[in-house]
Amino acid sequence: MSTAGQVIRCKAAVAWEAGKPLSIEEVEVAPQKDEVRIKILFTAYVTLIYYWECKGYTPLFPRILGHEASGIVESVGEGVTDVKPGDHVLPIFTGECKECRHCLSEENGKTRFSINGKPIYHFVGTSTFSQYTVVHVGQVCKINPTAPLDKVCPISCGICTGFGATVNVAKPKKGQTVAVFGLGAVGLAAAEGARICGASRIIAVDLNPRRFEEAKKFGITEFVNPKDYDKPVQEVIVEMTGGGVDRSVECTGSVDAMISAFECVHGWGVCVLVGVPKKDDAFKTHPMNLLSERTLKGAFYGNYKPRTDIPMVELGLDMDKFITHCAFRGHQQGI
């Protein structure tokens, strides 16, 4: 029996308050026109801590977090023609309507989740910490049904964000030097991009020395822990490289790391900012750092257009290197 247009019930991890443990609840999931209801088969943890704790962000609770996932279309709302039930898809936090009808429309202020009539809010339009979620069709990327969903799940955020920041935005040339700040999944993907581009040296900057050995698999050649030095880490890198690296990619969201990433590139070098800072952070650097022709760029989802590029792109990555698994009951430790 078709469930299209009907409210269904499922389990979801609900954040009721800022910083409080998530709670597994039964929620009602209601679709609307132009929307797609997806059965989430795999979801991953990307940077959630700032939103969960509301450090500098406007609080909106209760809500269902999660924005990196893969799944199968369960049903579609009125007007949806791009995908159909049974299609394998990635819900993407940044949409691409292709026609801008949705992009130019005002937010309707409604929710798609509820518990006993109480609204439960979405997170960046995806809310993947749920057995089923509802996503606008502009945020649904249809993929090859033969692609293993457990492997392609991270493509919906972290992998494309880091890899694309290097390959599409920083664009290091063969033989150049690259510094990567932060060795989470996004940073490792950025390093992998530098390796594929043929970088001669890939210098990782992270506060956790235990990450270095694993990072070697992604092309990291050297590791710098800022805590090991009594000078700014950008000065350390400038000395290591005889004047600075050619490219840097910042993947932590720390404004101090952003400044260091910018100041560790030489004149006419390029720094790409990927990490999400806190609301009130301010990026400060001396104007001379700009007069020397350094370039500062930002990247969102690796400069990929999700619905156009992702089904066609050949990343050439060993996805197993990026993935570890945990039971959903361990979600609190993951955050």
Contact between residue 19 and residue 59 where contact means Cβ atoms under 8 Å apart: no
Helix (H) or strand (E) holding 266: strand 265-273
pLDDT for position 332? 55
**154 three-class SS:** helix
Quick one: pLDDT at residue 103? 46
Please report, for the chain, the start and end positions of each structural domain, with discontinuous segments joined by +. Answer: 8-156+305-334, 158-302
Q: Read off the pLDDT of each residue in 3-25 and give the average, rounded to a whole number.
A: 85
Read off the pLDDT of residues 158-202 as tens digits, 9 standing for 90 and up: 899 999 999 999 999 999 999 999 999 999 999 999 999 999 999
Hey, do 8-156+305-334 and 158-302 end up sharing a CATH topology, with the first three levels equal?
A: no
pTM: 0.84
Which of 3.30.56.10, 3.30.1280.10, 1.10.340.70, 3.90.180.10 is the CATH number of 8-156+305-334?
3.90.180.10
Phi, psi of 150, rounded to the nearest 5 degrees: -70, -20
Instruction: Tell me what the mean pLDDT of segment 31-57 comes to.
Output: 72
* Percent of the chain whose predicted confidence (pLDDT) is above 70: 86
Determine the residue type at 278: K
CB contact at 8 A, 57 and 160 = no
Do residues 10 and 28 make contact, with C-beta atoms less than 8 angstroms apart?
A: no
Backbone dihedral angles phi then psi of residue 7, each to the nearest 5 degrees: -75, 135
Residue 112 has pLDDT above 60, yes or no: yes
For 191-202, the pLDDT digits (tens) are 999 999 999 999
- CATH top-level class of 158-302: alpha beta
pLDDT at res. 46:
64
Question: For 276-304, what is each residue's pLDDT tens digit?
Answer: 888 889 999 999 999 999 999 999 889 98
